[in-house]
Structures are given as C-alpha cells and as structure tokens.
Amino acid sequence: MKLSVISMTGVLAVILFASCGSPSAGKSGVGRWVSYSGDKDVEKRVDSVLALMTLEEKIGQMTQFSANWSITGPVMSDDFKPYLEKGLVGSIFNATSVEGIRKMQEVAVEKTRLGIPILFGQDVIHGYKTIFPIPLAEACSWDLEMMRRTAEIAAIEAASDGINWTFAPMVDIARDARWGRVMEGAGEDPYLGSRVAEARVIGFQGGADGKALGELHTLLATGKHLAAYGAAESGRDYNPAELSEHTLRNIYLPPYKAAIDAGVGTMMASFNEINGVPATADRWLMTDILRGEWDFTGFVVSDYTGINELVPHGVAEDEKQAAELAVNAGIDMDMTGATFIKYLSQSVREGKVSEEVINNAVRRILEIKFLLGLFDNPYRYLDEERAKQNTMTPEFMETARKAVTSSVVLLKNDNRLLPITKESGKTVALIGPLMNDSINLNGEWAGLGDRNKSVPILKGLMEKYRDTSVKLLFAEGSSITGTTPGKIAEAVSVARRADLVIAAMGEDFNWSGEAAVRTDIRLPEPQRELLKALKATGKPLVLISLSGRPLDLSWEDENMDAILQAWFPGTQAGHGIADVIAGDYNPSGKLVMSFPRNVGQIPIYYNQKNTGRPVDLSNESTDYKSNYLDTSITPLYPFGYGLSYTTFSISNVSADKSSIRTTGDKMVVTAHVQNTGDIDGELVVQVYVRDLVGSVTRPVKELKGFQKTALKAGETKQVNFELKSEDLAFYGTDGKKKTEAGDFVLWVAQSSADNSNRIRFSANTPDNAR
C-alpha cells in the first residue's frame, strides 16, 4: 500500500491508494477522503480536493446524468457509463434503490482516480413511497407544521433508499389554472407561498440553517423554478413570461428568497424566458440577484436539458455556445444535457469561460457533498434494513391520513347535507369513475408510490360505515372520458334506491404536472352527462372533485347540493375523505388558488390592481368599467375561501396603535373569533392589508398573516397578529424595497372576499410619526 500525504491550504488530505486498486469503502464504511487533525473547516477541505483535480474532472462535477429508471424529460442518447468510470459525473438523477445506487457509487468512489462521491437526485415532490396530497392541496390546509412534517417524512423515506437530493419545493406563484404545474406549488399568493416554501425547505433539510444536512433522515432541497415559471403566457409550459420588474419583484420573487432565507442548498433555473432572456442564460437572475442581492451560497442546477434548449430559444447558435452562456450566467450543474462535459474544456482553452468560473461552481458542489457527509462515508445512506424500517410506517400512514383531511376544501354544503353521520341510517349511492379508483389518487410527481396501494374512496367509505346504520350502494356510471347509456342507466337506478348520492368525479392524474396544459378545465363531458342524469333523479347530490388544478365548476355549483374539493389526496385518500364525509373531521381547508367561473377569466387572482375604472361589485353592469359583458369579474370561489360544518364570526377588531413608523416599528392587531355553530371546528383567520395610495399602484388586498384556530362549539378566542412596518414594504419605481408613508386598511377575515371587519391605520416617517 502506498500512502500519499499532501498538504493543501492548511488541511491535511490523506488519500490511500492500494497497489491493486482502491480500498473498499463499501466494506469499511470510510471513504478515501479523510480529514485529519480534527479540522472541520469545509471550505479548506473543498480547496484541498479542488487543488488535485484536472479541468476535465472539475467539469465532470458540474455534470448530472439520468439513469433513466424513470423519465421526467427527453431521454439523452449519451451512455454515461464511460463518464462515470473516468470520474466525470457529479450527480445522477432517477437512480433508485439501495442496491442500484450502491453499484454506481462504488464505481465513482473505488474505480476512479480521485474517488469523489456522487450526489443522487430524485423528484421527491409530495412523498417518496408514502404519498401525501399534492402540494397545492397541502397548502389549502394552511398548516405549516403539517407541511414541514410531510416533507420530513418524504426525506426520511427517500434518504433511507439512498437519495441525497430532491428537486422540491416548487415555489412558483401560479395564477393560471390551465398550467398543469399549479399542482406542485402553493397557489397565487406570495406571502403564503413564502411561508410554505420555508416550511418545506426546513422539512426536507431538517432545519432552517442547513446544519442538519448530513443527518441520515434529511434531503438536500431545491428551490424551483427561478424565475416566474408560473407566469408563462397562456398557461403553456415552457412559454415566455412577459412581466415588469415591478411584478417580478413584488409577486414572483419573494418565495424564492424565502427558500434561500430558510437555508435551501440548491436552486433550479426555470425553462422559460423572462422579458426575452431565458432564465438558464440570465446572469441578472442567477448572479446579480441570486448571489449578489440574496447572498445565496449553494449551487444552481439547470432544469432537465434546459441548457440545450437555449438553442431552440434562439439565444445560442449551438450547444457549445449554450454551455458558455449558462455557466457564465451562474449555472453550476447541467441536468442531463451533457453540454458542460462536452464543450467547457474547449471553451476554457479558447478564453470564452474562465477557469475561475469553473472553480467557483465546483467549490459550491463539493461543499454540498462535504456537508452531506459523502466524503467521510459515501455509503452512509445505503442501508437496506433502514430502508425497510422507514417505509410506509403506521405513523407515516396516520400523518398522510391527517394531511388528506386537512387539505380537503368544502366548497358548498346546502341544507347541511354533510356530514353523513354513522347514526343517520341513510342509504347512500356511491357513483363515479373515481369512486373505486386507486391509480389516479396519488396525482402526478408521485415519487415511487405504489398506485395500487392507495386507498380508493369506496374502500374508505365502506370501512367507515361498516357495522353502522348507513347502507352503501355502488355503480361506476362512467369512466373519466367515456360512458354508455347502459352505464348511466345503471347509476341512475342505484341513485333512485338511495336517500342521497355521492359522486366522485375529476381529472386523470396525467392531466396535471409538467407539459399537462388544458384549455377546457371543466369536468369531461361524459362525467357531466352522468351528473345531469343523477340530478334528474331529484336526489340530494354531493360531488367529490379530484383534480390537480382549480376547475371550472360553475355548472356544478348551480346544480350540486354539496361539493368537496379533494384534489389528488395520495396514499390515504379513501380513509381521509371518509373521515370528512362522516364528520369525524370537520373540514377546515381554505383555497390557495381562485376558482374561475370560466376559462375566459384566467388569469384570476384576489390581489389584483384596482384600475382607473374599478367595478362596483354591487353593480357590475355599470358601463365603461373594468368588467365583463357576460360574467362577473369575481371568481366562483375566491382565495382563502372554504366552508366548515360549523359557522364562525369575527368581531372586535382593533390595534394597539393607530399608526406605525415606516421603519423598525410594529403594531399588534387583535380580534375575537367565535364558533357560532354546534360542532367543534377550526378556522383559518386571515389578515389582509391595502395600501390606499402608493408611488406605484398597489393591490386591492394583500395577505399579511394567518392563524389556524381551533374552537369548540360556542367558544370564543382572541387572536393576535403582529404587523411590522417591513410587512408593508414593496418595490417601487426605483427598484428599491421600502415602506411608504400613507394610509392603510386592514381586514381580519375568513377569506379574501370577506370585507366585514376592517380598521384603518397609517404609516409615517419617523419625523412625522404620531
């Protein structure tokens, strides 16, 4: 055995080379990179590795290949095995299982010159094997601790299977329900989106500062997609976004900044262009803002073949130039495109890319690998027994079930048709293509979740009402996209024998997610035909709507007696929905995206501008106002809306002062919240503010706080909110964020459309503070 001791920048790096090959770190549990003298300075350890690397090896660290065990984009024709054997791979995407990952890591660590370990990434979006409700649904719970916990469980399961890195959370603001990727985010509001981004980053990474990275239950998180991917024109994936810097900074950028403030380790560039510059080549975004203004110290990865796509975008004449544009803009790793590994060495020799740019990118990547503990033991995540112990445990199942109940939104409930108690003695017809379905329940981006293991609604209801006075009948009536007169007749016959009907309708899971854009967001015609036939029976009718986006439910709102928006609920779908139907859980979800009355209203969102000719909502037919001739300007269901089996009131709204200074000040707002019904429940109490006059136009309302408050029947509680002067700040025409002096209105409300409890206050400069 040959022992080579090399001193680099104050750190003693020890590399062991066996005469017949590298020692097996897989057996010993210790990699070849060992820090002696107790030196824990990651920066020095990184420099010690970097000093030993050739230019080609550095660029290899900036390269990610896909194992193609699951497909999330165009399959690259390049065989990455030769790169792997030469130590020219920094990360592998879509590899799964302890055994499969171990084999690839062994090649990188034991059969290459430097033995640098690989980072393994996977789309762990809303669960790994235990699948939780889609992120849009979870956001409707307004329960940040629950969202933190589901991300934590996803990290535990994925890390136990050898995964180190997830490409989540998606923090894009979404105002267009046609866009399929609304399912991955937290909706239309930048304040709520920022809070959710923070909670999910902390859940994945084990804390707010990144110090837990390296613990065996954590994943490296990714804030995506920088920037304004949700603003793509027409809701079309990959389409350009044309928006002012004012809108970009005030609406779209805050959640990315929140993810960074929470310690997110990586960021992902978006596919789209903003104002003529594709994000993957946008130095202003990736360097000036991300690193200059926000002090981000992690690394930036392109999206899947995003660098290659600079050629069809029309800003690069070939993939070599695309690689140069991307790396000089601030992209540190090429996701599956192979442009860096093919072209950057030549670009450095030609002087088109400096080696300093390469070194900085590699430093950031190596630092993450050190923080994850991969240099100390590249096999530390690989333990088949631990994987078995940390997969779909009873505790995980219970959390998934609670996530379903808290994510369901009750949109309508005439005559208190719901809940259907176990003692009611009713006969209930269960109908619809999604009633006995398990395949669609996980939604898109469902990790390695087994769709056959997801609990159908029919099964959940049958178990819920077993040995009770409630009798259940079932008929499918239609598939998602088709039906026959015979199937409808069978469903109608079953409905006529029942006291009421519950119909489970909605989308195919493939209709949302990436590249899943719809211009008609109504229920498919065969399902509507079935609903019309059921309506004609005269039986009370409950709709369970399952989808990955807000739908146009205008006809259903007019004709159904009750509507539950259940989204795609995941593994425990049937049990969680049954808990809500039976009243074992009182629904408390509130919408985080407005539901349009028709697709012509899109984009629609609550925090709109007033315009110079605002509409009086009490008289929308007024001529020459900013309205429609054929429908209201209001959404069918607004942001923050959601019913309960009980009722609530808010009163006695007050503040401890009538004005605050524009810098360094705060006020405390209090309100009394009462459960005015006869059932225990929870209310998401929301605080909105309007800046009446600004140097630029301001939204008619902006969310500035919320609390989920549990109240017994008849109980009253006082809730308190702290409003800081910086909460009122915005970016003005000078590009700077500040709080302007002026008058404000504040609402403590049950939804964005609730205008009943308001107070006025002012913000004043310190010299004029009252």
- Judged by DSSP in three states, 472 sits in strand
Q: Are 319 and 308 in contact (CB under 8 A)?
A: yes
Give the burial class of 708: count Cβ atoms within 10 A of its Cβ; 0-12 exposed, 13-18 middle, 19 or more buried: middle
Backbone phi, then psi, for 395, in 5-degree steps?
-65, -40
Whether 606 contacts 640, CB under 8 Å: yes
Question: What residues pair up with 427 in beta bridges, in sequence order?
Answer: 471
Separation of alpha carbons 453 and 434, rounded Å: 15
Question: Position 749: which residue type?
Answer: A
Angle at 275 between CA 271 and CA 280, to 5 degrees: 30
Candidates 397, 419, 403, 413; CA nearest to 141 is 403
Peptide bond into 419 cis (omega under 30): yes
- How far apart (Å, rounded) are the C-alpha atoms in residues 720 and 758? 15
Q: For residue 405, give the H/E element and its range.
A: helix 394-407
Tokens 């005469």 appear where? 19
761 DSSP β-pair partners: 744
What percent helix, strand, coil does the chain show, rounded to 5?
A: 30, 20, 45
Residue 303 a catalytic site member: yes
> Can you read off the two tokens belonging to residue 178?
């046609």
Residue whose token pair is 């837990």: 212
Q: Is 27 exposed, middle or buried (0-12, 13-18, 19+ CB in 10 A)?
A: exposed
Residues 670, 673: Cα–Cα separation, whole Å:
10
Catalytic residue among 303, 332, 552, 561: 303
Residue 698, both tokens: 């301001």
Tokens 């800046």 identify what position? Answer: 691
Q: Which tokens belong to 580?
A: 């809500």
First to last CA, the chain: 79
> Residues 268, 300: contact at Cβ < 8 Å?
yes
Contacts of residue 58, defined as CB under 8 A and 6 or more positions apart, other chains included, come to: 50, 358, 359, 362
Of residues 13, 245, 237, the one with CA closest to residue 114: 13
Q: How many residues does the chain have?
A: 770
Q: How far is CA 151 from the centre of its chain?
A: 10
Rounded Cα–Cα distance for residues 173 and 178 (Å): 14
Phi, psi for residue 166 in degrees, rounded to 5? -115, 145
User: For residue 442, which of 333, 324, 567, 608 has the smallest C-alpha distance?
Assistant: 567
Residue burial 75-100, b: 16+ Cβ < 10 Å; e: rest: ebeeebeebbeebbbbbbbbbbbbeb
Catalytic residue positions, numbered: 303
